[in-house]
Each structure stands twice: as C-alpha cells, then as structure tokens.
Chain A
Amino acid sequence: MERIAIVGVGQTKHERRKRADSFADMVYEVTTKALADASMTIKDVDNVITVSNDFWDGRTISSMAVTDACGSNGKNVSTVEGDGTFGALYGMMRILSGYYGTTLVVSHLKGSESSMPHITNAMFDPVYERMLGLDSISSSALQARAYMDRYGITEEQCARVSVKNHKNAKNNPNAQVAMDITIDDVMKSRMLADPIKLYDCSPISDGACAIILANEKRAQKITKKPVWVRGVGYCAEAYHLGDRDLADPIALKAAAKKAYSMAGITNPRAEIDVAEIYDAFSYMELLWMEGLGLCEPGRAGRLVEQGVTEMGGELPINPSGGVLSAHTVLVAGLVRIVEAALQLRGDSGKRQVAGAKTALAHGINGPCGQSHCVWILGN
C-alpha cells in the first residue's frame, strides 16, 4: 500500500457550551489551523471529507452545510455520518484511490444545542427498541454491568480511570473537564444508571477537529514531521444489543488484529508507546484495552491499579484526558488521531510521552461500541 501521512492537524478547545462560535465558525477555525500547521493553503487541498450528524445539528444533510467554512467550494466533498476515525479512514481511501494527493477531514459537533438522551435514544431501532427509552448512558450501563460481572471488575477500578483521565486533562489546554478528583469523589458522584455514576460519564461538549492527510510524495514536500499511518483496522458487529455478548468486544478484537498485522505489530503492549482510546465511560477504557489486546480479558482493572496506564507508566493511555474529559461526539475519534499525531511529533507540551514512536488511536460508532476503528501511527 502507498504510504499515507498526517501532515496537518487542528482542533478547537472543547467546551460545555461554545457561546462564541457557530458550526461554521468552529469548522473555519480548525480548517485554518490544520492548513497553518501544514503550511498549506486551501488550494493545496485536493478533496474534503466532512463528518457530522443531522440529528445533532438539527438539519438534514448537515455535512454539506459547512462546505463554505472548510473551503471546499469547487472541490469534491464527501461525507461520513459516524465517528471521525471513520471519516479519516474514508479520507485515506480517497488518496489510495489514486485520484487525490491530499484530503482534508473535518468534523464538528455542538452537543449543547439539543438533548443528548433524545438524540442517543434515536440510535435505537424504532421497530423494536426505541420505545423502551434507552439512551447512551442506560445502554452503556447494561454493557458495563455485563463486563464487570463477567470478570469481577470493580466500580473502584473504573473510578481510577476517571481520576487518571481528568488529571491528565489538566495538561491539555483543549480539554473541557480537567480536575483533581479522588476515587471516593467518583464513587460518591450522582448515580445515573448503575454502575455508571456522573464522574464515570463523559460530558456534553462542543468543538471541532480537522486533519490533513497526504500521499508520500506530497507529504514529504509539505512537512519535515509527517506522521505515518502504519496500520488501520475496522470492524462492526450486530446492531441489536441482545444479539451481542456485550462483555466481549469481538469487533474491536478483529479491528485491532487487522491494524496490528498491517503495522507489523506482534506485541501491542510492548510496541505501542502511547494510546488514545475512546473512553466515553470509564469502564470503556478498560474493556477497550482488553479488546485491543493490551492485556488479557478481565485484567485491565489490575493494570490501571498498578499505574501502568498513567503518565510515566509503561503504556500511558489518554494523556489528553480522553473522551471522559471532552466528548464532542463524532469529533472525538478524530481528536484521538490528532492527539496521537501530536505525541509522535513531540508537540504534546505538558502531556508529551517522551520519545513516543508508535501510537494507537481508536474510535467507536454505534451503541456500546458496535463498530471500532483502530489506527497505528508512527513517526
């Protein structure tokens, strides 16, 4: 396969409510930031992928409403309704098609402007499940319980993830919820849907993110610090929750296997220096660690207790603070890629993992991680 690189990145600060910016303002901001980062002009962008969701934006064909703001008039624009990691995947494929040398991928969300439970309820099948009133929190609680029951994972172990990631967020100027909290604070936070409590839960966020991808020839002209895509894997499993074993993320295992195989990784725990994982809820970081093969099933809780995933640990996970510290849905997976790329460039400031050479970024789509997209990046 032709080598593809990330040559420019940009993101907004993620906030509970962005008063100062409309969708278009956010998209314009991240597009110009990514172009400046790559020392490119909009003329150097061959095609554009926009990532958004109509329910959240409150309009149909939301992905086409930001074309002005991402400078894509007169260019080929296509769209992804799903996590930004899948938008990046599509952007990469378009370069691999041979038609384009560069792709701009941009994603935006304003979670503040509508109602999270109403919108996430609408991801469920209207024929069989939607009337039951499930949303992202209650459905994830079913998965959390299934996972914790299977392996004896404790609420305290999940709480540690929240403590770690909110602390990491203090080193990230773009994070939304940066704070020093204790396990006790998490345990005593308001019960939403047991075992998920308020501090186990990612926030409602506004923000945007953009990356620019390039083929090898263009990448080497554009930047001295290209971040290379070494492997990508993606897989989906059954849609209906009752058809799945929620404690066994088989789609993630398959996605990770493909990504590792493509990148030539045989021992991911030893070979990956830093990982940005889609931790929409604290238990997810643990469950996804296992699905990613970073430890045996049921062992992730112990790893977190041992400090393996903290800054300074053997494998720091979510130095950015993760999704727990800013959950711009759809954007969040693209942010994981950007954070991984910044680590490999040595541009992560106070959240830098020293000497990172191989990074993992991960995004999810659909209820309880129905599908996964795993990226292995290198410098």
Chain B
Amino acid sequence: MAKAKGGVEEMVLKGKIKVPYTWYVGECASRFYVELRDNKRIFGTKCAKCNKVIVPPRSSCGKCFVPITEWVEVKDTGVVQTYTVVHYAVPGIQPLKPPYAYGIIKLDGADTGFVHVIVGADLTALKAGTRVKAVFKEERQGNMLDIQYFTPV
C-alpha cells in the first residue's frame, strides 16, 4: 500500500469526465461535409486576395484576413508532404488499429495540406512525394471519417 507524506495511506479518487457536446461546424464546414457525404466530392474555398485554395475549407483567409466566398472542387488524389507511421495504440481516439499512418496530403488542386490517415499494404514504402487517393466509406455520416483513409496509388 502506497504511503503519502507523513506515512499516511495514499487515497486516490477515481473519476471519468464525459461531457456531451454538439459542435455546430459552421456553414462552411457544413457545405464541405454535405458534399463529402452525398457526392463523395472534396471542396475547398479560394481566397480572392492570395488565390490560395484552402482545404478543408475556411470562411476567412488566415493569411490575408479577408472573407472567402468562392468554392472550388479539388481532386480526391494528392501528394504526401509529410507522414508518420503510428505504432502505439490509444483505444477510443484512434480511428484505426495501429500500425497505420498519418499524412499531410496536398490534394490536387489545393494549396494547403490535408491531414488524414493513410492505409496501404506496405507503409514502410511511404515517402514524401508518394501519390495517394481517398477511399470513401460506404455509409457516410458527414464527418472527416467519411473518407475512410487515403491509400498509395
């Protein structure tokens, strides 16, 4: 039995905080997720000032600090900019069983990186520059995991 300072028995209170949330994703992300869910299409927004196509879309440009209104469809293919293969398991938060990879993927037609998971037969072959393609879920719910994963092509 562990003893705290002064030789007193160490008492530990166990708890678990589970709070329900309902995050409204905003008009911009709503449009993004509706397209993803209903049409398996990936959309970004394009800043009229710097002409950058931002994916996932934002309603204002972080660089130029102006509102963005133009919508642009990007491809479901792209290039891995950076990646890591995860070897440790955290049940409850990880969408897949390790090992699987994370990548920041520059989708064809986008100017920013898109963070997602990468699954493939040989993850050790993954490199910056590897081309990947999105695999969509059959049953889509309107969230980021409607893209089940990206896989090397």
Contacts and interface: CB of A to CB of B under 8 A. Distances in A.
A195 B83 CA distance: 10
B62 A194 contact: no
Nearest to A142: B82
B78 to A, nearest CB: 11
B66 interface: no
B102 A132 contact: yes
In the A-B complex, the 7 residue pairs with the closest CB atoms: A242-B113, A141-B84, A146-B82, A133-B94, A20-B5, A117-B90, A193-B84
B81 to A, nearest CB: 7
A131 interface: yes
Nearest to B107: A242
A193 B116 contact: no
A242 B79 CA distance: 13
Interface in B86-109: 86-88, 90, 92-96, 102-104
Interface residues of A, number: 41
A141 to B, nearest CB: 4
A146 B4 contact: no
Contact of A149 (B17, B54, B82): B82
Contact of B85 (A117, A131, A133, A194): A194
Given A138-B86, A142-B83, A242-B114, A133 B95 contact: yes
A20 B10 CA distance: 8
A339 interface: no
B25 interface: yes
Contacts of A144: 84
A126 B115 contact: no
Interface residues of B, number: 43
Interface in A223-277: 238-243, 246
Given A19-B10, A118-B92, A246 B102 contact: no
A118 B82 contact: no
A371 to B, nearest CB: 14
Given A21-B5, A243-B62, A194 B144 contact: no
B88 A127 contact: no
A20 B4 contact: yes
A12 to B, nearest CB: 13
A128 B29 contact: yes
Interface of B: 2, 4-5, 10, 15, 17, 21, 23, 25-26, 29, 54-56, 62-63, 81-88, 90, 92-96, 102-104, 112-117, 128, 143-145
Contacts of B10: 19
Contacts, number: 112
Nearest to A17: B2
A141 B10 CA distance: 37
A351 interface: no
A131 B95 contact: yes
Contacts of B85: 193-194
B82 A145 contact: yes
Contact of A121 (B55, B93, B144): B93
A192 B88 contact: yes
Interface of A: 19-21, 58, 115, 117-118, 121, 126-129, 131-135, 137-139, 141-146, 149, 190-196, 238-243, 246
A364 B95 CA distance: 28
24 contacts: A21-B5, A121-B90, A126-B21, A127-B23, A127-B26, A129-B115, A131-B144, A131-B145, A132-B95, A132-B102, A132-B144, A135-B90, A139-B102, A142-B115, A144-B84, A145-B128, A146-B81, A190-B87, A194-B87, A196-B84, A239-B62, A241-B115, A242-B115, A243-B62
A13 to B, nearest CB: 13
A131 B36 CA distance: 16
A142 B145 contact: no
A237 to B, nearest CB: 9
B54 A243 contact: yes
A58 B17 contact: yes
A246 B115 CA distance: 13
A149 B103 CA distance: 14
Nearest to A198: B88
Nearest to B83: A145
Contacts of B94: 133
B115 A127 contact: no
Nearest to B30: A127
A195 B87 CA distance: 11
Given A128-B29, A134-B102, 9 more contacts: A121-B93, A131-B143, A135-B90, A138-B102, A139-B102, A145-B84, A146-B81, A149-B82, A193-B102
